[in-house]
Amino acid sequence: MKIFKEIPSSKPITPLLDKVEFPADFRSFSINELQTLSDELREYLLYSVGQSGGHLGGGLGVIELSIILHCLYKTPFDKLVWDVGHQAYPHKILTGRKNEIESIRKKGGLAPFPAISESEYDSFGVGHSSTSISALLGMAVASAESEPERRHVAVIGDGAMTAGMAFEALSHTGHIKPNVLIILNDNDMSISENVGGLSNYFSRIWASKTYKGIKKSGSSFLKPLPKAYHLARKVETQMKAMVAPGTIFEELGLNYIGPIDGHNLKQLNEVISNLKDFEGPQFLHVITKKGAGLDPAEADRIGFHAIGKIKSIKQKSSEQKKYQDIFGDWIVDAAEKNNELVAITPAMREGSGLVEFSKKFPSRYFDVAIAEQHSVTFAAGLAIAGKKPVVAIYSTFLQRAYDQLIHDVAVQNLDVTFALDRAGLVGEDGPTHSGNYDIAYLRCIPNMLICTPADENETRLMLTTAFNHNGPASVRYPRGTGPNTKIEKKLADVKIGKARIIHEASKNNIMLNFGSLLHIAEQVSHSLDLTLIDMRFVKPLDEKILLKYLQSADVFISIEDGSVMGGAGSAVQEFCSENGISIKSLLCGIPDRFIEHASRDEMLEEAGLSPEQIKSKIKELI
């Protein structure tokens, strides 16, 4: 493997990669040529991500694996599913998208993750973790009769394997035993003794055609070689138990092979080419290094998981705090005041701003891995025993724990605070990561408090308010930075359900803001002389202020960074209906369609939420 000290700033010379447009172009390459191809692909990936920004570390770790899989399997006829898809950039480059890779995550460019609408080589759309095995199993079952020669492969990371869904799928796979290959891309271990020596030796034996022949002959006939078969199987079981950590997968009904070196092209080629012909579900454990081939990325796997453009890497970071930092500061301060506070996150320590908390209060910090359902019910258990749990979770990931939210927290009216990061349109990660639906799916749940702060200081106030509230409560805030409002350090709260007047106008038209688009609402309200009210809460609504202003108004306009259907504006319409208020309304929010990846401002415009678009709609209405 060629090692790079830094990200190239100029386009590299890649003569072999230039000959490759699709996998068929390199399937006849020798191992030495494939090694050259992997070096060129790694350098090109470094350069392209340096130009575009995006996910880097995972892709660097699967360069060799991507090449071997596309070399040995007849993709796109054979189906290859990448779990999550952070690591799929090399796959995209090798499957006809090399010249477009610099457009990744940009408006109109390549999707940030595999997408079935983008390429026939993308077998399944991904973005959230731990879905690959379930999807692959469905494909394999559907193809079993109609196209029995079709092969099916899933690549799943060690992080994604922490989710219960992955093990549910493994259990079902072991039960029905289709011909599939599941590859565990384990980049949380260094390549050490258990990948060399005896382990490699037995891995090659278990994946060898000779051994396969012994097993097949023993399982197909009573004779010949029944003793050889039983002896081989007994030795295999005993040796796997000694040198390989695969017992759990064997117990689930899969044939475990590994671990092997995921950067050794020759070994990958040898083992996987033999596993192709094995009957039943195969589980291959591959050890890789996240960020492999780039020294700084190997040293800082978290920092190089995803990067900005190469220019921005070298610039000093902005001193303006992101919303996740606002939360991080608040929870440390709150924990110092309240010994019962416990922080929980499903594998989002850095992204949620919990690094400092985890250091200061390690006994009160729980990263439960990619296990959103568990995180919520775990919080419920803490709450019922008298603790004050705060679940730091992205809005889009709370969707995965909806039943637990209702059944385990809300029905019992338990004191759990949900800090919903990445609410609304998130930008370059696209629709799989946009938190558009939390207002709609939380608003219908009894006992739920829903806070929609408009800026940094309001976020701190609402977090304290939600935490002090005795019951289920959520505070939603967006990705990135806000309007840079001055933050009051004291742990003050506000009266639940109390809105605030931002701008009182002479005209009898009312604008109601819910959340982080207040800066847009202010531009519009001043331009059109509208009374602007920052509602602060979706549930409960400030009924007193709504009765005061809406009973005599001609029209109300709501604005929110969330789904129009079932959203905050809909809540106001329901309130008007219940109270006999006949009034025109314009609900400005995210329309009933998925907004594709772009910058956050571009996504807002695509949703019709720019100041000019909103003003145009209001003028047409009034």
Residues 6+ positions from 81 with CB-CB distance below 8 Å? 114, 123, 124, 126, 132, 135, 136, 139, 152, 153, 154, 155
536 close to 453: Cβ distance less than 8 angstroms: yes
Supply the DSSP string of 6-75, one letter for each residue. Answer: S--SSPPP-TTGGG-SSGGGTTT--HHHHHHHHHHHHHHHHHHHHHH-EE-HHHHHTHHHHHHHHHHS-T
**Residue 472: φ, ψ to 5°:** -65, 135
24 close to 44: Cβ distance less than 8 angstroms: no
- Render the burial of 268-286: b for 16+ CB within 10 Å, e for the rest: bbbbbebbeebeebbbbbb
391 close to 427: Cβ distance less than 8 angstroms: no
CA distance 590 to 594: 9
Residue 586's closest CA among 547, 530, 527?
530
Question: Which residue among 98, 290, 443, 539 is the active-site one?
Answer: 290
The angle at the Cα of 607, spanning 352 to 583, to the nearest 5 degrees, equals: 105
CA distance 586 to 553: 13
Count CA atoms closer than 13 A to 228's CA, side-chain side.
14
CA distance 35 to 263: 10
User: Does residue 372 carry a catalytic annotation?
Assistant: yes
- Render the burial of 83-112: b for 16+ CB within 10 Å, e for the rest: bbbbbbbbbbbbbbbbeebbebbbeebbbb
In the block, which residue shows the tokens 């050890």?
287
> 307 - beta bridge partners?
54
Tokens in use for 474? 């959520």
Q: What are the percentages of helix, strand and coil residues in the chain, rounded to 5?
A: 45, 15, 40
Amino acid at 550: L
> 282 - beta bridge partners?
181, 255
Amino acid at 372: E
Q: How many Å from the N-terminal Cα to the C-terminal Cα in the chain? A: 66
CA distance 88 to 76: 15
CA distance 327 to 352: 8
Question: Which residue among 372, 456, 458, 560 is the active-site one?
Answer: 372
User: Does residue 290 carry a catalytic annotation?
Assistant: yes
139 close to 152: Cβ distance less than 8 angstroms: yes
- Residue 142 parent element (H or E): helix 132-146
Question: Which residue among 215, 400, 476, 539 is the active-site one?
Answer: 400
Q: How distant, in Å, are the alpha carbons of 5, 291, 303, 406 from that of 299?
A: 11, 8, 9, 42
Catalytic residues: 290, 372, 400
